[in-house]
Chain A
Amino acid sequence: DTGVSQNPRHKITKRGQNVTFRCDPISEHNRLYWYRQTLGQGPEFLTYFQNEAQLEKSRLLSDRFSAERPKGSFSTLEIQRTEQGDSAMYLCASSSGPEAFFGQGTRLTVV
């Protein structure tokens, strides 16, 4: 197991388009998190899954954002009708204990 994997690494999209990111957590990690990080800031929590159940969504997550984790394995984060303010690094992390392990992130640029 090579750790948390995120795809794509980079995504450039036009405003108004939909985008979907994928996260493959470390095997057997039942907890999965999505964070958003803008330049010069720390990561901000977006949503949390325990197995396939989405237990919390941040108020940062507008109606245009949706996340899933079917069968408690990989997770997808979809942003509909992207806006320039959505440009950021989207980080996925997984854990089975107190420590969370992060993927390399997907950098989204909305033009």
Chain B
Amino acid sequence: AQTVTQSQPEMSVQEAETVTLSCTYDTSESDYYLFWYKQPPSRQMILVIRQEAYKQQNATENRFSVNFQKAAKSFSLKISDSQLGDAAMYFCAYREISKLGGSEKLVFGKGTKLTVNP
């Protein structure tokens, strides 16, 4: 089974600064999807950004970008110009597809709690 590791339980950043959240994963597949989700306190999980493994170009969504290193199985999230509203739990996730039964699911890391200081 695939695993996802987020080694930073907590991170903090000053407003308007840049922060990078780390994620590593383990898989033997060559084609897959990776995601970053944001979960504000007591609110629902929101998709931040996705990366398709066969695309070499790193995904970017406004202030959010990823550094995808396929060989190293690393998928970090960079948040530029941090805002107070960015404060949340951030989860890295790998989309696992079962070749046998056609099932699929997301495998999540344990998350990184991001604090944004004014």
Contacts and interface: CB of A to CB of B under 8 A. Distances in A.
Contacts of B102: 50, 55
Contacts, number: 57
Interface string A51-93: 0000110000000000000000000000000000000000101
A41 B110 contact: yes
A98 B95 contact: yes
Interface of A: 31, 33, 35, 40-45, 48, 50, 55-56, 91, 93, 98-105
B45 A43 contact: yes
Mostly, the B contact residues are strand
Mostly, the A contact residues are strand
Interface of B: 4, 33, 35, 37, 43-47, 50, 52, 91, 93, 95, 98, 101-111
Contacts of A101: 47
Contacts of A103: 44
